[in-house]
């Protein structure tokens, strides 16, 4: 009997040792899990905010019941599209998009379903998530809304410290300065080998001729004089439609455009002699932007098309110029070229053609601004209701060769 128990005990010990060995081995092969804190600014969000006293919600729509003009302007801005944007939604669904993609597009914690506590072993694809009890899906749809810029520590941040408001106001002109804009409009990081975040509008501005003279706010939120709410005395105020590229997000939504380029062209005569050479030049000059053009999103580019046609519409000759960056994303993200126009920089596109047949001709000149290439739109399965480009300059010259 004793012998039988001894054998059973021995068998149990061997079994336990085997299990311990297997577990121990796995422990050796699996790296121990350490949760590391978030470090980069864009890994963090603005903490959950409570609704400031005197207000019913954090929603722009509710701010808009009093600040009617502000709401109407903001509604047409690209900031209001930062979450619903078709390309953004398409990219967000990809496995290659890490958690922090949403942090500049829906910057308030209240707009995010999960609170990210840290990263397992610092891996951006392994965030430690917890359900957010204050998540508001309506607020999420608003993208960069009034509260994104104006609510901190549960109060409204203003730049004048008004005492007339029915909600608490904290005066903080430093928060409401270009530093706020730059917190999102300047990120320079290689997130993963094939994913780079390169928005350097802030650095471009600091290096340019407008630094110290005009800033993000003076150009993109020009000053006006009006009441902040109907029935209140008019005072210093700023437009909130954030005009810039003017490339719309839908066929129906047209954000305002700010003009950066001036165009200078040479003359085309009404008539030429056979065997003359037509010489033409179109110059683009970045006169009004406080940074490079294009700026921000590395996918943006301009095309400059100069096309000579016969009166029947047959193309005789054409040239095309391109202003923008070009990137290779695989196997590692790498910028191949970049000829964006610096502030104040001018560039000429020339056209030269021997006129060796009599008849009537037209020289068509056109400049278009593009959000993305057709290939990128196809790759992201973006439908045709999402505009890819707009025309920013068009001029035709008719002439005769006699
Ligand atoms: C019930 C009406 C009402 C609502 C709702 C409301 N406000 Fe106001 N707000 C006012 C009034 C009135 C003023 C003061 C106007 C003045 O000083 O002439 C004001 C002032 C402000 C100011 C300027 C403060 C300063 O001192 O510069 C900001 C910014 C502001 N509101 C933002 C918001 C935001 C953001 C929301 C929504 C989260 C909001 N307001 C909701 C009525 C309202
Ligand atoms: C929380 C991050 C964030 C902050 C803060 C922010 N922006 Fe933006 N901004 C964005 C994002 C994201 C977009 C693009 C949205 C889209 O295209 O869907 C954008 C778009 C814009 C555009 C439109 C660009 C175009 O293509 O036409 C302008 C202009 C702009 N922002 C200016 C500003 C200014 C000025 C400030 C400061 C007062 C500011 N932004 C603050 C994130 C931010
Ligand atoms: C991208 C950031 C941003 C967003 C979004 C935004 N604002 Fe502002 N707002 C500012 C800045 C910056 C100023 C201060 C400009 C200054 O004083 O130089 C300001 C100023 C104001 C003021 C004070 C008066 C004035 O015009 O200077 C009011 C009122 C205001 N905003 C209301 C709103 C409301 C309402 C919304 C949403 C419909 C909103 N803001 C959305 C950045 C923003
Ligand atoms: C001197 C005026 C001026 C200043 C200062 C300025 N901008 Fe602009 N910005 C413009 C103009 C004009 C455009 C339109 C460019 C174009 O033709 O597409 C523009 C375009 C943009 C765009 C869209 C870029 C694109 O290629 O589609 C963004 C984003 C932007 N600005 C953000 C900012 C931010 C952020 C700052 C501050 C760091 C700033 N701007 C400072 C005038 C200015
Ligand atoms: C540091 C802040 C920041 C982060 C993080 C960020 N974005 Fe953006 N995003 C911006 C700004 C600013 C713009 C507007 C740029 C412009 O118009 O010049 C923008 C614009 C966009 C657009 C609109 C492009 C267009 O043509 O209108 C898409 C799509 C986008 N981002 C996708 C992403 C994805 C995917 C990620 C994660 C890999 C991401 N963003 C992370 C700041 C950010």
> Has residue 307 got a pLDDT over 80?
yes
Residue among 300, 199, 320 at smallest CA distance from 245:
300
Nearest alpha carbon, ligand 4 atom 1: 290
Same domain as 162, residue 284: no
Instruction: Give pLDDT tens digits for 13-61.
Output: 565 555 555 545 544 456 678 999 998 888 899 999 999 999 999 999 9
How many structural domains comprise the chain?
2
pLDDT of residue 217: 98
Answer for the pair 401, 271: CB distance below 8 angstroms, yes or no.
yes
Same domain as 110, residue 231: yes
Q: Flag whether 140 is in a domain.
A: yes
Place of tokens 């000829």: 339
For Cα atoms 274, 275, 281, give the angle at the middle one, nearest 5 degrees. Answer: 105
Instruction: Give pLDDT tens digits for 199-240.
Output: 899 999 999 999 999 999 999 999 999 999 999 999 999 999
Same domain as 86, residue 168: yes
Task: Supply the mean pLDDT for the chain.
Answer: 91
Count of C-beta atoms within a 10 Å radius of residue 399: 17
Same domain as 268, residue 165: no
Q: Flag whether 213 is in a domain.
A: no
pLDDT of residue 1: 47
Q: Flag whether 339 is in a domain.
A: yes
Which ranges constitute the DSSP H helices of 158-274?
Answer: 178-185, 201-207, 216-220
CA 395, CA 282: separation in Å to the nearest integer? 11
Instruction: Determine the structural domain holding residue 78 and report its residue range.
Output: 36-172+226-238
> Model-level pTM?
0.93
Nearest alpha carbon, ligand 2 atom 10: 79
Same domain as 273, residue 144: no
Place of tokens 């839908």: 250
Q: Which two tokens stand for residue 36?
A: 């590391």
Q: Give φ, ψ of 344 to 5 degrees.
A: 85, -10
Q: Flag whether 282 is in a domain.
A: yes
Give the mutation target among 105, 221, 227 for probing the ligand 3 site: most ligand atoms within 8 A of CB. Answer: 221
Q: Flag whether 87 is in a domain.
A: yes
Higher pLDDT: 162 or 192? It is 162
pLDDT of residue 255: 81
CA 35, CA 126: separation in Å to the nearest integer? 10
Same domain as 266, residue 148: no
pLDDT of residue 28: 46
Domain of residue 374, CATH code: 2.60.40.2550
Average pLDDT of 73-81? 96
Q: Flag whether 276 is in a domain.
A: yes
Please tell me the distance between residue 99's alpha carbon and the centre of ligand 3 in angstroms. Answer: 28
Same domain as 388, residue 292: yes
Give the mutation target among 156, 160, 168, 175 for probing the ligand 1 site: most ligand atoms within 8 A of CB. Answer: 156
Nearest alpha carbon, ligand 4 atom 38: 202
Count of C-beta atoms within a 10 Å radius of residue 323: 23
Q: Flag whether 200 is in a domain.
A: no
Q: DSSP letter for 132, please.
A: -
Please tell me the distance between residue 278's alpha carbon and the centre of ligand 4 in angstroms. Answer: 36
Same domain as 153, residue 55: yes
Same domain as 276, residue 232: no
- Judged on CB neighbours under 10 Å (0-12, 13-18, 19+), 8 is exposed
Same domain as 121, residue 45: yes
Answer for the pair 244, 265: CB distance below 8 angstroms, yes or no.
no
Same domain as 150, residue 99: yes
Q: Flag whether 94 is in a domain.
A: yes
pLDDT class of 329 with cuts at 50, 70, 90? confident
* Of the residues 188, 205, 238, the one at which a domain ends: 238
Please tell me the distance between residue 43's alpha carbon and the centre of ligand 4 in angstroms. Answer: 25
Residue among 161, 151, 109 at smallest CA distance from 130:
109
Answer for the pair 385, 92: CB distance below 8 angstroms, yes or no.
no
Same domain as 278, residue 231: no
The DSSP secondary structure of 39-72, one letter per residue, reads: -SGGG--BPP-PPPTT-S-S-HHHHTTTSHHHHH
Give the mutation target among 107, 297, 300, 333 for probing the ligand 5 site: most ligand atoms within 8 A of CB. Answer: 297
Average pLDDT of 135-154? 97
> Has residue 91 got a pLDDT over 60?
yes
- Judged on CB neighbours under 10 Å (0-12, 13-18, 19+), 211 is middle
Q: With a 6 A CB cut-off, is 102 part of the ligand 4 pocket? A: no
């Amino acid at each position: 009997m004793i012998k039988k128990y001894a054998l059973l005990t021995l068998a149990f010990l061997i079994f336990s040792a085997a299990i311990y060995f297997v577990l121990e081995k796995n422990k050796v092969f699996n790296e121990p899990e350490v949760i590391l804190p978030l470090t980069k600014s864009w890994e963090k969000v603005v903490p959950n905010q409570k609704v400031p006293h005197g207000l019913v919600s954090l929603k722009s729509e509710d701010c808009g019941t009093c600040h009617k003009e502000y709401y109407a302007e903001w509604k047409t801005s690209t900031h209001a599209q930062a979450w619903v944007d078709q390309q953004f939604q398409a990219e967000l669904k990809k496995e290659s998009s890490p958690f922090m993609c949403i942090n500049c597009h829906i910057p308030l914690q209240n707009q995010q379903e999960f609170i990210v506590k840290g990263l397992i072993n610092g891996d951006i694809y392994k965030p430690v998530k917890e359900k957010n009890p204050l998540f508001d899906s309506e607020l999420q749809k608003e993208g960069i809304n009034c509260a994104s810029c104006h609510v901190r520590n549960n109060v409204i941040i203003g730049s004048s410290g008004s005492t007339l408001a029915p909600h608490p106001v904290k005066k903080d002109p430093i928060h409401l300065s270009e530093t706020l804009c730059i917190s999102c409009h300047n990120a320079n990081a290689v997130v993963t080998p094939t994913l780079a975040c390169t928005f350097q509008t802030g650095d471009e501005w600091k290096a340019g001729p407008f630094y110290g003279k005009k800033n993000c706010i003076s150009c993109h939120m020009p000053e006006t004089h009006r009441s902040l709410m109907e029935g209140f005395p008019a005072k210093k105020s700023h437009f909130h439609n954030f005009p810039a590229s003017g490339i719309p997000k839908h066929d129906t939504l047209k954000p305002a455009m700010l003009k950066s380029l001036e165009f200078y062209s040479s003359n085309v005569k009404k008539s030429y002699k056979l065997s003359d050479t037509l010489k033409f030049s179109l110059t683009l000059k970045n006169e009004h932007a406080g940074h490079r053009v294009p700026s921000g999103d590395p996918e943006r580019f301009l095309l400059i098309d100069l096309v000579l046609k016969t009166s029947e519409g047959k193309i005789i000759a054409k040239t095309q110029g391109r202003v923008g960056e070009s990137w290779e994303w695989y196997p590692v993200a790498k910028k191949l070229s970049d000829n964006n126009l610096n502030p104040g920089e001018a560039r000429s596109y020339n056209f030269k053609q021997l006129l060796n047949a009599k008849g009537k001709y037209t020289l068509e000149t056109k400049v278009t601004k593009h959000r993305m290439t057709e290939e990128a739109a196809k790759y992201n399965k973006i439908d045709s209701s999402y505009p890819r480009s707009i025309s920013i300059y068009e001029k035709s010259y008719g002439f005769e060769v006699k």
